[in-house]
Structure 1
């Protein structure tokens, strides 16, 4: 199981954090985080439910990470193992994660697929998302997987859809000509775009597009 203690600095003040696997004791906090990250009009029935969370900690506990500050869970990152064929990358978020229930978890899969990442808004200035992503890279190396993969929303795309395609938008973000809140964050985490997928998820801002973003295990030589 994963546990790491670190110090962050908030305006020069040290902040002790614990990165660890989440458990059943954390379920209420995890649902609360979802509520903070996705407030109304986002439908509450799409927040994590306890059946989904039970599957996360039962089917693939190594892929269930959180960060704790002062005894409070402030962020989470969830993954599932799947078999991914780069020659056939098309899929939806629902297909890759079984709608977040991860009953498709494959212990013999070659890829750790990111199901969700959530950080309480009050703690987003600390860079917790990047720390959790790097912690998941440790899991990939320890398990000998080929890659970390996941579909990123591109919420800035709707502002540019009239004058560029989804692929052109991503190229502009990679070149630094445009900033996208999600894709730019994933680039800073070391992930690179693999392909743009149509109808990846219902997302008005992204016009239902998603971008598969990959981090390759540097020890695998793939």
Structure 2
């Protein structure tokens, strides 16, 4: 059972925050946070539903983590295990996650795949998302997996898509010339880019692209030979 307590800071004031596995009693709050965090034009059909959440806690409870402050759920992160190899990079979110139902979870796989990360807007300045990501890194190490991997939105891309290819956009973010709300956040969390993926997710702001990004388990350096 995964559970840790630490203090996050809000305007210099420490706030005790619990990171733990979410359960069925948390479903209503988790769905409400999704709606608040991903407003239109993000497709409402991509918000969690009860059946998906039930699969998360039944099929892979170790990969279903939430953040709680004063009894209130303020964020969550969900994952599954896949067998990943570099030539598997061209896939959609739907294909990798079984449309969020994670029936594709493979306990014998080599990589932890991010299904979703979501933080209520009012709590983002506390660094909840970064600590959720850190929790997933700890799970990677605990399960002796090769890496954490998953596709992120690039919602800033639609603003410059007429003048920049997606590869140029990614390079501009990496060089610091541009900032992207999601990609820049993932870089701050220690993730590194693998490649852009066309038609990764139904997302107009990202022009339906995703950026596949990973974090390699530093205790399994032998996997560098796969690159």
Shared fold by TM > 0.5? Answer: yes
Q: 1:146 maps to which residue? A: 146
- Separation in 1, partners of 2:162, 2:40: 28
Deviation, structure 1 residue 88: 3.1
1:126-137 pair list within 5 angstroms: 126-137=126-137
- SS of residue paired to 1:178: coil
Residues 158/65 of structure 1: CA separation in 2 closer, same or farther (3 Å cut): same
1:173 and 2:173 aligned: yes
Partner residue in 1 for 2:7: 7
CA distance in 2, matches of 1:205, 1:120: 20
Separation in 1, partners of 2:38, 2:171: 28
- The separation in 1 between residues aligned to 2:174 and 2:40, in whole angstroms, is 32
Shift in alpha-carbon separation, 1:42–1:188, aligned structure 2, 3 A: closer
Partner of 2:82: 82
Instruction: State the match for 2:95 in structure 1.
Output: 95
* Unmatched segments (≥5 aa) in structure 2: none
Q: Determine which structure has the larger helix proportion and give its number.
A: 2
Decide whether the 8 Å contact of 2:43 with 2:202 is kept in 1: no
After superposition, the Cα gap between the structure-2 partners of 1:54 and 1:111, relative to the gap in structure 1 and judged at 3 Å, is same
**Cα-to-partner distance string for 1:169-210 (whole Å, 9 max, x where unaligned):** 101101111100000000000000001111111111111111
Instruction: Please say if residues 153 and 206 of structure 2, whose CA atoms lie closer than 8 Å, have aligned partners that are also in contact.
Output: yes
Q: 1: CA distance between counterparts of 2:69 and 2:198?
A: 38
Report the Cα offset of residue 123 of structure 1.
0.7
SS of residue in 2 equivalent to 1:172: helix
Pairwise CA distance, 1:38: 2.3
For structure 1, which runs of at least 5 residues remain unmatched after alignment? none
- State the match for 2:186 in structure 1: 186
Give 1:41 deviation, angstroms.
5.7
Residue of structure 2 in register with 1:39 after alignment? 39
Please provide the CA RMSD for this pair: 1.1
**Equivalent residues, number:** 222
- Structure 1 residue 85 displacement after superposition: 1.1
| Closer, same or farther: CA 90–101 of 1 in aligned 2, 3 Å | same
Q: Give a deviation string over 1:99-128, Cα, whole Å, max 9, x none.
A: 000000000011100001111111111110
Q: TM-score normalised to the size of structure 1? A: 0.97
Q: Secondary structure at the match of 1:205?
A: helix
Q: Which residue of 2 aligns with 1:52?
A: 52
Give secondary structure in 1 for the equivalent of 2:205: coil
Displaced runs of 4 or more, over 6 A: none
TM-score relative to the length of structure 2: 0.95
Q: Equivalent residue of 2:73, what SS? A: strand
